[in-house]
Amino acid sequence: MSNFDVIVLGSGPGGYVTAIRASQLGFKTAIIEKENLGGVCLNWGCIPTKALLKSAQVFNYLKHAEDYGLSAENVDKDFDAVVKRSRGVADGMSKGVQFLMKKNKIEVIKGYGTLKAGKKVSVKDDEGKETEYGADHIIIATGARSRELPSLPQDGKKIIGYREAMTLKEQPKKMVVVGSGAIGIEFAYFYNAMGTEVTVVEYLPNIVPVEDEDISKQLERSLKKAGIKIKTSAEVTSVDTSGEGIKATVKTAKGEEILEADIVLSAVGIKTNIENIGLENVGISTDRDKILVNNYYQTNIPGYYAIGDVTPGQALAHVASAEGILCVEKIADMHVEPLDYGNIPGCTYCTPEIASVGLTEKQAKEKGLDIKVGKFPFSASGKAKAAGTPDGFVKVIFDAKYGEWLGCHMIGAGVTDMIAEAVVARKLETTGHEILKAVHPHPTMSEAVMEAVAAAYDEVIHL
């Protein structure tokens, strides 16, 4: 039996980052992976979807070349080529992780890992051979998969999840997307931009329901303008797949209606991968599909830890990475502070993009806080107008008494690259006046942050 200081089960952005940091800290480290290095994020999530979305964005630019004084005739897309480019990007990133494992002298163990008592993991390879490994510290980072609803059992053909949505052999003419979180909205935008007739069905009153209501309403307007049909406060109660396509029964306040399409994409959240990994062998505690951990990701059993989607924090790649780093630094007896889950940025990469951090206006009011709210529309931004991307705005929320930056919500071109300003400022406990007096470059999209802050304090110049 091989022995290590640290074994990481799962090689997603939580797992492989954890393994690298552990190796940097001098631990003899191994990582166990049953599929491709990089996990869902690099192979079937964050990275390949961004490649698809970029193709959709370029295609959209070409179709509107005249808006920029240009001429592009006979513009068309090759759906297979778009998918192949996405897969190529994912493969390249996975090979990059392989390089990082080798560079950091991390042993990669291929196979399916099962936890055992006594700080051991049994790994079964593709040929069915089992090998046992031991470590002083075992970190669970097995991630999650597409969640299935009883009314939407995925068959991989007519009712699909995000994996199939990235590799369809043929582009559907009509698609129903169930769920309007980041995954559902990104795919809705992609397929619509490619020419598919898309209908989004959301159970709650607003699409992207975790976002500030102003963001939700603006995105709904933008998506409808692009031709996407949206049904909120609606529920798919059943799907008939017996015919050539599908017939989805949708229940709304007005009654039931039937939506006909070629395919249904189920994007109703995720299910953690905690079954059949041996938690019961060790006695590790779980609650509501999550592994219970303390502030440093230790489970109830000494020597076993868990990070990423399998724990109660936000199911985001950057959260998993941060948790993993914090976890191994604590193991190394470094001074670390618990992660601030109130300062985690969230991003959705449709067009227009969405990025947010902190409290929404509604949440701030529900807390009874006296607040100042400022908004600055990109329609008043010289950079946005010149770029032909005037949709959207920046919205900021401050505590009226102390100037604390409570929340920042953006919708517009490139805002996923802008939200870090608010995250860092909040981490440093920066006040509204300090942001206002920090000179922002002109003309940029980012100066809309300064203008929104100015609006909150009744000092806005360009609006």
Half-sphere exposure of 391 (CA within 13 A, CB side): 20
> Nearest Cα to 239, choosing from 147, 148, 153?
153
Q: Which two tokens stand for residue 353?
A: 């993009």
Phi, psi of 322 (to 5 degrees): -65, -40
Answer yes or no: is 183 a known binding residue: yes
Contact 247, 286 (CB under 8 A): no
Q: How many Å apart are CA 194 and CA 167, to the nearest integer?
A: 14
Answer yes or no: is 50 a known binding residue: yes
Answer yes or no: is 180 a known binding residue: yes
Answer yes or no: is 34 a known binding residue: no
**What are the catalytic residues?**
442
Answer yes or no: is 344 a known binding residue: no
> Nearest Cα to 200, choosing from 221, 175, 182?
175
Find the radius of gyration of the CA atoms of the chain: 24
Please name the residues in contact with 194: beta carbons below 8 A apart, sequence gap of 6 or more.
Answer: 56, 59, 77, 79, 82, 171
Answer yes or no: is 407 a known binding residue: no
Answer yes or no: is 362 a known binding residue: no
Answer yes or no: is 269 a known binding residue: yes
Answer yes or no: is 379 a known binding residue: no
Q: How many Å apart are CA 184 and CA 210, to the nearest integer?
A: 13
> Nearest Cα to 381, choosing from 453, 435, 438, 446?
446
Q: Which residues are annotated as a binding site for NAD(+)?
A: 179-186, 202, 269
Q: Which residues are annotated as a binding site for FAD?
A: 50, 113, 309
Q: Which residues are annotated as a binding site?
A: 50, 113, 179-186, 202, 269, 309
